[in-house]
Amino acid sequence: MAPSSSRPLRQRHRPSPLHILLASIAALLTSLPVAATADGLPELGGGDGLYREILRDETVLRLKELGKISDGEGYLERTFLSPASIRATAVIISWMKDAGLTTWVDQMGNIHGRFELTNSTKEALLIGSHMDTVVDAGMYDGSLGIICAISALKVLKVAGKLQRLTRPVEVIAFSDEEGVRFQTTFLGSAAVAGTLPESILQVSDKSGTTVQDVLKMNSFEATSTAISQAKYNPESVGSYVEVHLEQGPVLEALRYPLGVVKGIAGQTRLKVIVDGSQGHAGTVPMKLRRDPMVAAAELVVTLERLCKEPNKLLTYDEECSCFTEESLAGLVCTVGELNTWPSASNVIPGQVNFTVDIRAMDDQVRETIVTSFSRLVLQKCDDRLVDCKVEHKHSAAATHCDPELTSQLKRAARSTVSAMPGRTVGAAGETPVLMSGAGHDAMAMARLTKIGMLFVRCRGGISHSPEEWVMDDDVWAAGLALFNFIDQNVLAVSEEELEAGQNAVAVS
């Protein structure tokens, strides 16, 4: 049952032992002493309005702390409802409470921290990202968006501005986005968006443990009815914003710390199976071979050419003349996995199969590339006298960010970069507008509400690796931009600000 108002649905059953334990740990963590001013508020430091101590120093420390909570020994791994995930939940709850938020954990393990004025009926602003990681991960992917959001709201608290929020604001740490454990992405955000199928409970991991089993092991109800309680009523949500490291090299090349996202690329995944004639590596003459490995190699190179220079390989029937340079921008194709049978050094393979990942912002471009590649596969396999089959494994349409939200985030980013000391930016000085080739929780949340995304520069464009790294000052810029976004769009104007604006007009 979905929430019927702007207030999220609270669980009506008795709190589980897990929830009681998490609440106790969170209470202990929030009771730890912090530096405070004479009026009892945590020390902001400096009067420049940049809140360095919270938005940079404390945020970076928290990123490092969360990055140490892992199921792996010597590397970072934190998957859906794993022991490390449960430990991380208690820590995140403590940070949310420290920011003045009311917290709870829903029936898919998502962590919520919310502030709203009494009897508020306005649509909520949701801000979030994911707390799970890949195997051998970096410490910024997902965590950066969660902690920056908490930090921005903590600044509102210590600056005495929480009470001026014109609508509810909620931070969500989604339990699963990467899909590492169950090979199914967006478990957390899809539950909130209301698009998670009931069949998800029976999906199993490599050990045979199902999603339902894992939920029960962690004291959740693990029923379709309970999971449906995580769903939000679309009428109660006004928008969703996500801060995320770019996971690409563009912002670094432009020498700019932040960028706004115009959309998330659509994706198609294929599996190509090539069957030939298995034989002895030393006795079958080259001219008599039906070698699937050589055919597969040619197909991989063909895919590369098709995506680098599509207009040279597309036929008239495939409407190559319809595609502009802009529509083809961001088209990327990848072969990430290749398997052979029997995979022996002295045997001509009998079968080779490989995966294909095709992404583009323009869905028509992506679909045309898929059609063209499928045609070329059959053509080149016929030429080599091998048998080929193309299986479609996954397809997702592109997701477009809301233009108004994008404009507001762009304004917040620009004002942030202009205000920060010692900033060096690209010659253009304009906040870059990017597309995302990677999937994000925003894709799932777009089924619930309008979305906006802010990207943060990362070194070398590296992600999903322990080498993933964001400069401390860029972490600061991300948190400050999010704070400015809230300040510019969600806060009521104070009497002092109104008077200052009137005086400025009178002087001019």
Fold match flag (47-264+400-498 vs 266-396): no
Each residue's pLDDT tens digit, 64-104: 999 999 999 999 999 999 999 999 999 999 999 999 999 99
Give the dihedral sign, CA 89/91/96/102.
Answer: positive
Strands (DSSP E) found in 438-498: 451-456
Token duo for residue 415: 């004002």
Contact between 222 and 198 (Cβ < 8 Å): no
Q: What is the 3-state secondary structure (H, E, C) of 10-28?
A: CCCCCCCHHHHHHHHHHHH
Residues of the chain with pLDDT under 50: 1-15, 31-46, 427-428, 505, 508
Instruction: Indicate the domain borders of the chain.
Output: 47-264+400-498, 266-396
Token duo for residue 106: 């829903």
**457 CA to centre of own chain:** 15
Taking the model in full, what pTM does it have? 0.81
Q: What is the DSSP letter of 177?
A: S
Phi, psi of 216 (to 5 degrees): -65, -40
Phi, psi of 347 (to 5 degrees): -130, 130
SS3 of residue 338 by DSSP: strand
The class of domain 266-396 in CATH terms is: alpha beta
Query: CATH classification of 47-264+400-498, choosing from 3.30.1330.100, 3.30.530.20, 3.40.630.10, 1.25.40.10?
Result: 3.40.630.10
What is the per-residue pLDDT for 508?
47
Contact between 212 and 218 (Cβ < 8 Å): no
What is the per-residue pLDDT for 473?
96
Report the C-alpha gap between 399 and 242 in whole angstroms.
14
Helices (H) and strands (E) in the chain, counts: 17, 16
Q: Which of 493, 450, 23, 410 is CA-nearest to residue 239?
A: 450
